[in-house]
Amino acid sequence: MSRISFVPGVAGSPFQKTIAQNKAVNAGFKQLSGANFFSLDPELFELVRLRVAANNGCEY
């Protein structure tokens, strides 16, 4: 169970629902996510996301 609640009505992964708490962080993530999505193979991008989550002890 996460310690930070999800924002109601936000679509996406649990991570996206959590970072929606802060509009600036959410906007920055969307910008970064868009940039990486087009520059990396989709499978590699997902592996990077999983690795970052694992390194930070996050459930994904």
Q: Is residue 3 part of a domain?
A: no
Q: Is residue 43 part of a domain?
A: yes
Q: Is residue 9 part of a domain?
A: no
Which mean pLDDT values do the consecutive 10-residue runs of the chain (60 residues) have? 75 83 86 71 84 83
Number of domains in the chain: 1
Q: Is residue 60 part of a domain?
A: no
Q: Is residue 26 part of a domain?
A: yes
Report pLDDT for 60. 60
Tokens standing for 46?
A: 């997902």
The total of other beta-carbon atoms located within 10 Å of residue 44's CB is 11
Gap between the Cα atoms of 6 and 14, Å rounded: 7
Report pLDDT for 36. 61
Q: Is residue 45 part of a domain?
A: yes
pTM reported for the whole predicted model: 0.48
Q: Is residue 7 part of a domain?
A: no
